[in-house]
Amino acid sequence: MNVKVNEVLDAKGLACPMPIVKTKKVMKGLSPGFVLEVQATDRGSTADMKAWSESTGHQYLGTLEDGDVLKHYIRKSSDEESKNEKKHPLVVTNDELQQKLSEQIVVLDVRENAEYVFNHIPQAISLPLGELESRLHELNKMDEIYVICRTGSRSDLAAQKLAEHGFTNVKNVVPGMSQWSGETNK
């Protein structure tokens, strides 16, 4: 399948949040209606691109696989279609989460399974961002949920998604596992 694009962004070899950071920058320079192809090798980038597009009002068209490369297609929205990029309002630091670990809370790790397997907070539940909507039923809307990822980007999108689905006590943990100094399981 040949997709007509207006610009190509090479994000191969980059890990979250860099494909999104670079996509944001390129999208600012595109005209409304133009299509951007983002080439990435990070498996988690599919869920990231879809969630980011949704949060900004740009149209996520889909992803095609070309060997090890994922080609994401995003159509830039017009000013009327786009939203100001939202951020989840409840944010806590790694230290604040560390202090809450002895309490009755849920730590939800939304990184990809491979990231989780090699380094995670002991009681954290693995639920990758790309699977979140289909697995919401596994979570209790009344629980106090702390959402964590590597840097706070995917966890922000996940926290917004949970709030949209009626979860009222959700906090995004920043800066996330990239700077976590507490106990971990490997």
pLDDT for residue 84: 63
Mean pLDDT over 131-145 rounds to 96
CA–CA separation, 30 vs 81, rounded Å? 15
Q: How confident is the model at residue 186 (pLDDT cuts 50, 70, 90)?
A: confident
- For residue 4, give Cα distances in angstroms to 17, 37, 78: 26, 9, 19
pLDDT for residue 183: 93
Mean pLDDT over 49-62 rounds to 88
Phi then psi dihedrals of residue 156, to 5 deg: -65, -45
pTM summary value: 0.69
Exposure of 26 in the CB half-sphere (CA atoms within 13 A): 21
CA–CA separation, 115 vs 113, rounded Å? 5
pLDDT for residue 170: 98
Only one residue has tokens 């080439």, namely: 39
Only one residue has tokens 């409304």, namely: 32
pLDDT per position as a tens digit, 64-82: 999 999 999 999 988 766 6
Residue positions annotated with a catalytic role = 16
Instruction: Give percent of the chain with pLDDT exceeding 90.
Output: 73
CB 16 within 8 A of CB 150: yes
Domain ranges for the chain: 7-75, 91-179
CB 34 within 8 A of CB 6: yes
CA–CA separation, 155 vs 136, rounded Å? 15
Q: Which CATH code fits 7-75?
A: 3.30.110.40
CA–CA separation, 43 vs 61, rounded Å? 17
**How high is the mean pLDDT of the chain?**
92
Biggest CA–CA distance in the chain, Å, is 53
The reply to whether CATH 3.40.250.10 applies to domain 91-179 is: yes
Mean pLDDT over 124-141 rounds to 95
Whether the upstream peptide bond of residue 17 has omega within 30° of 0, thus cis, is yes
The total of other beta-carbon atoms located within 10 Å of residue 18's CB is 16
Write out the two tokens for 110: 């939304």
